[in-house]
Structure 1
């Protein structure tokens, strides 16, 4: 369990941030109603002969299911089978709101709800809808609408919502993926993606869907031909005029990476270079500075809008001859619309969107690098589903930047990928992203509710970079990363992040990411005999924080870090007191942690720390290691027998069985140590 682990990321469901069309003035549901009554009434309204009522019901359901607690009320009343036929409703606005309701249901409900939606046959109307949409993507559908003042292409908006549903269910359900393959839905997705120049929103949804379905889907990969791959080239080569395009290109690059085995060998190196070029460009942007720039632009827009508003108010006072008919717009008074300043400054939303797209693109790019630097060998650790500036960092940055020596070339990476990662300075760019977010940018976002949602995205980029750093260390040799001095600087940098910063947004996720990076650095330094700059007391503090975390991976990292640290100290004189502290700490985890994987990891670490050496023997005797492990042994065996098959997969059970075997052997060794000390 002590080996370095590599984390993989899978494309996940996106945030349910797409706005839902509002109802046509038919009122809202009373908050006092129970979810069951609300669900019953709204599902009945779906059968109304009035398209306005059906649209209102769909929009209301879309809003309600964003509260996870109400989802069961709708599922119990077969909401999916009620909403499914409305995807093909004669009224286009009903189609859009029905697709939006299913989108939010699939996004907010998670994997189980998506699987349930597929079981209730959501795929049949969904695929039929998307096929209809693709035949009308190049047609102006405004003439089909009764409202003369509607200036939008409903077909593309419907397709956008439907693509999100398709993406979510294919991510969660193997049945949905089988239908996707059988119905050749990839052609639909590629056609929507090809419209990126006129509808970036729809193209981004299509790109996410494509990235998801090309992940570990050999049946689909076998059906991909050169023509399909060529449809992705214009997106990859497009000029990135805004951050939305960069996000689109990053996600498409992820799809091309998934499809790399279908790319002709003669152009594979060029394709990998194109992927890494996009990643490098995205990671080169300083997100904190970009947010500050966008916020300044938004503030100027607000000031200009306020001046315009005051001017319009003055004009209205001087010229009150406004007819009653002109005063009413879409059911709201003109005066009310003018008074709402936000209606006059759509550019502010644009700035927030651009900043958001950048942060999501950087997160996606880092996750791609994580996967590129990940061995396909089974990990022996349990993984949970999950993502400051200093002049002293410059030496390490230069080392990472200049590290162009021979590569370790592990089996999980090709020479082309190794070369491209270094040629585009990816290790250096990842290192830069491990710093805490720009404090000025965080402060600016905190002071404005509209910008506040960017804060967790800023931190997620850092967390992904720390995880990425862990994987990079597992596939590059020491010389490629700048040698022993660079690793020591890296360890010092991580020390400053872990031990001097307390302003962390998500403690569990931060501890998982940071401890994985610390573990990787300490392990490679220990294997190369490089002196470690982290004090044992610091490491103990980090591990104490990790074992309090609900995140299993953070706790696994903690015991591994202690195993690495203790095994190094065991070879050094006058360290028995520190070894006693480490041993007692690991014993407590082995005996008390709720996860057998963590308990097993703690025992594995004890084997490493106390396997040999005078200092470790002395410490083992003083903490009664033999007697304590004898108490743990039968409990550990019983837990494996009772809980193993229900809670752990076969790989984990094999590792736990090895720990059980090694524990028996280790107890025999400790018995010989006690006999030696008694004689």
Structure 2
């Protein structure tokens, strides 16, 4: 429980072409009044419908430039621009096809999931699929003429980037891609002997999204498993190609995992994938950023061509590392059992008078790795846990400041933020899956727990939910592991440290983060129950009273359920009876039970994936109250 599977995310992409007009176009939505926006949009639509090629190109370049702005991209999607620009994807003129793909890509990428939904409603997939089938099904690129732009190639890159964005944001795009057999076109573009690296990379990026949980795409990919394995060993002597090769190999590793996730025995491939990912993570992103920061001008927005190339390389390295962390996290994830709504029917859980048994606490636990031994050996030999931890550490503050002040470089800081969040999520899964030795020992695990705590309670912006959710997940997993092995490392914690955590839980607006925090507090209380000291007992009482009070003030029923589950974990053993009596545990739980039931009735239809925990806690609470009440009665 608590492991994270991959979620579709809006991709972060640079403009992959050199088409003109975007870079110098800096008009934002606030620069126009409503009449100007409507007038500009209408003029652009008239140009798109013109039979004149120059008019079409002018309209498409205007559309592309306008849609670098989020509001205008969404407005263009709402106005149904795709109905006019979409058919231009199959225009007779290749320049028009390229400009149309680029403009539509901007709408999808900057307009987000809503824009993608509208594009699909306006049937963008029909001309997009037709473009790929008509011009690229048996594409053999011609050698590029010196000094000329390869328009056919640029059109392909823009079209595939558009397809990738649509698939990331809307499942219907995957369905249409299957119907158009687009995966077979993409697979051909992985051939490193026929296509350039940028074609290989964009095709692999799109395929990775398209093949996730998609049996039809996976069956096509399986035919290409041998070449994918060969890509893991791909090397280059060109320093200028190193970042692209690293990204391509990482994407190939992801494609292999999409295939092998459907197979029973996949440990051999998993080990080869892990070795590739370790190589990807070996690049020190902080050192790379430190190097580029010294060449970024402070008095101008423009970068030299050499600096632009270095920055592009760094972005590719970081993209590869983001992907590597995601693949590693999935390597160590487990499928969660689906919950059934019938678990929350209107029957009274009090009717079940069987003796309380906390299955999780009563089962024997074996604190060994849940991963194949071959994979854990790769993790150990490659020091993968250490490499992941390094990705949680920010570049130096002065480097971040320099990067943030230049428009050309500040986007890389967004990449670093995503990298950091994925590193914490990856750590969460690894900590849950590896034994303590595989994590560097008790002291190293405790050190990570403390350092993550500093991020959560001192460093993170309270509104940075992505970072808080990922970091608290990793912090929760580390503490859970330490408690499971009864690690004697918590004696140095003081009351003031605990108060910092309590304040953090109270101030958090996100329920996912609150759940992680109450689980952390519950595990801390559980750890202190085994320390026979006055300080330990006082901390257990403080934490217990806080959690009991949280149950009466919390608005989300599934957060209440998680909090109650944490409390029941703390007081399962009979040795805690005296402490339970001192905090009036049973009496307070009897008051909380009807609150839980009332909120279940109110929120039952929106619980979704949280059905299981809520229904289980609802049943266990009544059993626990009955069992613990009988135990406490013996103390009187």
| Deviation for aligned residue 1:23 | 4.9
Match of 1:641 among 601, 618, 625: 601
Q: 1:231 to 1:498 in 2, by over 3 A?
A: closer
- 2:481 is the counterpart of 1:478: no
Alignment partner, residue 60 of structure 1: 62
Equivalent pairs counted in the alignment come to 597
Separation (CA, whole Å) in 2 of partners of 1:606 and 1:37: 62
Q: CA RMSD in A?
A: 3.6
Are the counterparts in 2 of residues 363 and 464 from structure 1 also a CA contact under 8 Å? yes
- TM-score for the superposition, normalised by structure 2: 0.83
- Return 5+ residue gaps in structure 2 as ranges: 340-365
Q: 1:611 to 1:274 in 2, by over 3 A?
A: closer
Alignment partner, residue 31 of structure 1: 32
Task: Classify the secondary structure of the residue corresponding to 2:438.
Answer: coil
Alignment partner, residue 357 of structure 1: 316
Are the counterparts in 1 of residues 70 and 110 from structure 2 also a CA contact under 8 Å? yes
Separation (CA, whole Å) in 1 of partners of 2:53 and 2:217: 38
Separation (CA, whole Å) in 2 of partners of 1:157 and 1:121: 23
Alignment partner, residue 466 of structure 2: 509
Separation (CA, whole Å) in 2 of partners of 1:254 and 1:505: 33
Alignment partner, residue 176 of structure 2: 179
Alignment partner, residue 243 of structure 2: 243
| Deviation for aligned residue 1:196 | 8.2
Are the counterparts in 2 of residues 224 and 262 from structure 1 also a CA contact under 8 Å? no
Separation (CA, whole Å) in 2 of partners of 1:249 and 1:505: 36
| Deviation for aligned residue 1:254 | 0.9
Are the counterparts in 1 of residues 21 and 65 from structure 2 also a CA contact under 8 Å? no
Match of 2:167 among 166, 170, 193: 170
Task: Classify the secondary structure of the residue corresponding to 2:439.
Answer: coil
Match of 2:4 among 3, 7, 10: 7
Alignment partner, residue 202 of structure 1: 199
Query: Greater CA deviation, 27-36 or 569-578?
Result: 27-36
| Deviation for aligned residue 1:368 | 1.2
Alignment partner, residue 88 of structure 2: 86
Separation (CA, whole Å) in 1 of partners of 2:546 and 2:377: 43
Matches within 5 A, 1:358-373: 358-373=317-332
Separation (CA, whole Å) in 2 of partners of 1:449 and 1:283: 27
Task: Classify the secondary structure of the residue corresponding to 1:377.
Answer: coil
| Deviation for aligned residue 1:567 | 1.8
Alignment partner, residue 622 of structure 2: 664
Matches within 5 A, 1:450-461: 450-461=408-419
Separation (CA, whole Å) in 2 of partners of 1:44 and 1:588: 63
Separation (CA, whole Å) in 2 of partners of 1:665 and 1:261: 39
Separation (CA, whole Å) in 2 of partners of 1:423 and 1:80: 52
Separation (CA, whole Å) in 2 of partners of 1:605 and 1:510: 23
Alignment partner, residue 323 of structure 1: none
Matches within 5 A, 1:135-534: 135-139=138-142, 151-194=148-191, 199-227=196-224, 229-230=226-227, 233-234=230-231, 236-239=233-236, 241=239, 242-260=242-260, 271-296=269-294, 298=295, 342=302, 345-378=304-337, 408=368, 410=370, 413-495=371-453, 497-498=455-456, 502=459, 507-533=464-490
Are the counterparts in 2 of residues 9 and 367 from structure 1 also a CA contact under 8 Å? yes
Q: 1:459 to 1:158 in 2, by over 3 A?
A: same
Task: Classify the secondary structure of the residue corresponding to 1:251.
Answer: helix
Separation (CA, whole Å) in 2 of partners of 1:572 and 1:228: 54
Q: 1:670 to 1:263 in 2, by over 3 A?
A: closer
Separation (CA, whole Å) in 1 of partners of 2:274 and 2:128: 35
Are the counterparts in 1 of residues 48 and 60 from structure 2 also a CA contact under 8 Å? yes
Q: 1:38 to 1:465 in 2, by over 3 A?
A: same
- Return 5+ residue gaps in structure 1 as ranges: 143-148, 307-339, 381-405
Q: 1:638 to 1:94 in 2, by over 3 A?
A: farther
- TM-score for the superposition, normalised by structure 1: 0.78
Task: Classify the secondary structure of the residue corresponding to 1:259.
Answer: helix
Alignment partner, residue 613 of structure 2: 655
| Deviation for aligned residue 1:154 | 0.7
Give deviations 1:416-459, integer Å, cap 9, x for gaps.
Answer: 43333333221232233333433453244245443232223223
| Deviation for aligned residue 1:626 | 4.4
| Deviation for aligned residue 1:476 | 1.4
Match of 2:554 among 593, 598, 602: 593
| Deviation for aligned residue 1:78 | 2.4
Q: 1:616 to 1:199 in 2, by over 3 A?
A: farther
Q: 1:130 to 1:492 in 2, by over 3 A?
A: same
Q: 1:588 to 1:58 in 2, by over 3 A?
A: farther
Alignment partner, residue 326 of structure 1: none
| Deviation for aligned residue 1:520 | 1.4
Task: Classify the secondary structure of the residue corresponding to 1:193.
Answer: coil
Separation (CA, whole Å) in 2 of partners of 1:26 and 1:65: 10
| Deviation for aligned residue 1:373 | 0.9
